[in-house]
């Protein structure tokens, strides 16, 4: 079952979809997941939707939502800030914990890419999250950007855009806009994996927000709650090293899975069956659903 709904985060109305497994018995309270979408993405027609449907199939309630300034949610379009998204995730948990279908003590958080970084940070600063599952996330914004702009030429171009944006904002009070692909390069052949509802231009302040965002600083706080760091090997969009570095800082129980599959999109159609099997194996051990549904 899927239900469209809204909830409030810092006075803004956020658009969401609630997934409830059909096998749920009347009155049964199930473990649940907050599902965070990727970089200026959408809850719809995206990796977030695939993740939510996967969790529903595994026997979990799932809430996928549009962060403020994205998708169908309120907020100035594309004016994304990392700590605003952390606040949205925490407010999503507050909302979900009140639902009759949900066990409020067993709400995890998951996300893909930028959504994974937000998930790790949110779980690191809010112990109401019972577990965290990060898919192709990152722990240090500056290090991530350096990995995404590996040549001196590309790094200088990127930093030049950021500095020009900072200067423009100081002088005019208005944002300078940049292509999302100047911030996070994605090869043409992989762009089909983006949501058609994703935003294509961002204010430079969004890139600065990401640059200064460090889930690394709080990842150790998640323990002893379970953490899965799942990443595609040789990821050419978000460097695989990001999950390795978070793993080095994390406490236990934490598992790191590096899977040789489509770069950055482990739930792409050809790879989804294997990815789902690996994720379900981890969930069955560390955060099981009483429904015990199969993929």
pLDDT digits (tens, 9 = 90+) for 24-83: 999 999 999 999 999 999 999 999 999 999 999 999 999 999 999 999 999 999 999 999
73: helix, coil or strand? coil
Q: What is the spatial distance between Cα 66 and Cα 7, in angstroms, rounded to a whole number? A: 11
What pLDDT does 2 receive?
96
Q: What is the spatial distance between Cα 191 and Cα 67, in angstroms, rounded to a whole number? A: 21
Q: What is the spatial distance between Cα 65 and Cα 73, in angstroms, rounded to a whole number? A: 8
* DSSP state letter for 281: H
Provide the pLDDT confidence category of residue 295 given band limits of 50, 70 and 90: very low
Beta strands in 37-161 (DSSP E): 61-65, 102-112, 129-135
What pLDDT does 194 receive?
85
Is CATH 3.40.50.1820 correct for 2-147+214-286? yes
pLDDT single digits (tens) 240-279? 999 999 999 999 999 999 999 888 999 999 999 999 999 9
Domain boundaries along the sequence of the chain: 2-147+214-286
pLDDT single digits (tens) 193-244? 888 888 999 999 999 999 999 999 999 999 999 999 999 999 989 999 999 9
Between β-strands 177-179 and 129-135, what pairing exists: parallel, antiparallel or unpaired?
unpaired
What pLDDT does 192 receive?
85
Provide the pLDDT confidence category of residue 186 given band limits of 50, 70 and 90: confident
| pLDDT score of 294 more than 80 | no
The region of weakest confidence among 189-193, 220-224, 283-287 is 189-193
Q: Please, which residues bridge with residue 122 across strands?
A: none
pLDDT single digits (tens) 86-137? 999 999 999 999 999 999 999 999 999 999 999 999 999 999 999 999 999 9
Beta-carbon neighbour count of residue 208 at 10 Å? 18
Q: What is the spatial distance between Cα 282 and Cα 111, in angstroms, rounded to a whole number? A: 16
pLDDT single digits (tens) 146-160? 999 999 999 999 999
Provide the pLDDT confidence category of residue 85 given band limits of 50, 70 and 90: very high
What pLDDT does 190 receive?
83
In a 10 Å sphere around its CB, with 0-12 CB exposed, 13-18 middle and 19+ buried, how is residue 168 labelled? middle
* DSSP state letter for 84: H
Structure tokens at 72: 């169908």
Structure tokens at 84: 């605003």
Q: What is the mean pLDDT of residues 174-182?
A: 94
Structure tokens at 171: 């002088």
Using a cut of 0.75, tell me whether the model's pTM lies above it. yes
What pLDDT does 289 receive?
97
Q: What is the spatial distance between Cα 64 and Cα 47, in angstroms, rounded to a whole number? A: 10
Q: What is the spatial distance between Cα 92 and Cα 9, in angstroms, rounded to a whole number? A: 8
């Amino acid at each position: 079952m899927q239900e469209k709904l809204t909830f409030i985060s810092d006075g803004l109305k956020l658009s969401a979809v609630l997934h409830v497994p059909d096998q749920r018995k009347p009155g049964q309270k199930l473990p649940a997941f907050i599902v965070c979408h990727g970089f200026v993405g959408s809850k719809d027609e995206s990796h977030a939707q695939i993740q939510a449907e996967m969790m529903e199939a595994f026997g979990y309630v799932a809430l996928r939502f549009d962060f403020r300034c994205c998708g169908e949610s309120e907020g100035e379009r594309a004016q994304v800030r990392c700590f605003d998204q952390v606040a949205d995730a925490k407010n999503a948990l507050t909302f979900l914990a009140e639902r009759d279908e949900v066990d409020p003590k067993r709400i995890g958080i998951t996300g893909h890419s930028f959504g994974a970084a937000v998930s790790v940070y949110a779980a690191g600063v809010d112990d109401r999250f019972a577990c965290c599952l990060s898919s192709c996330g990152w722990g240090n914004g500056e290090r991530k950007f350096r990995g995404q702009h590996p040549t001196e030429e590309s790094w200088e171009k990127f930093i030049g855009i950021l500095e020009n944006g900072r200067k423009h904002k100081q002088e005019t009070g208005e944002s300078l806009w940049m292509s999302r692909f100047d911030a996070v390069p994605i090869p043409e052949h992989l762009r089909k994996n983006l949501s058609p509802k994703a935003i294509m231009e961002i204010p430079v302040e969004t890139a600065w927000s990401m640059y200064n965002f460090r889930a690394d600083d709080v990842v150790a706080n998640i323990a002893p709650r379970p953490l899965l760091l799942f990443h595609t090997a040789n990821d050419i969009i978000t460097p695989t090293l990001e999950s390795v570095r978070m793993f080095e800082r994390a406490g236990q129980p934490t598992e790191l899975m590096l899977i040789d599959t489509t770069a950055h999109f482990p739930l792409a159609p050809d790879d989804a069956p294997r990815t789902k099997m690996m994720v379900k194996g981890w969930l069955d051990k560390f955060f099981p659903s009483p429904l015990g549904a199969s993929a």
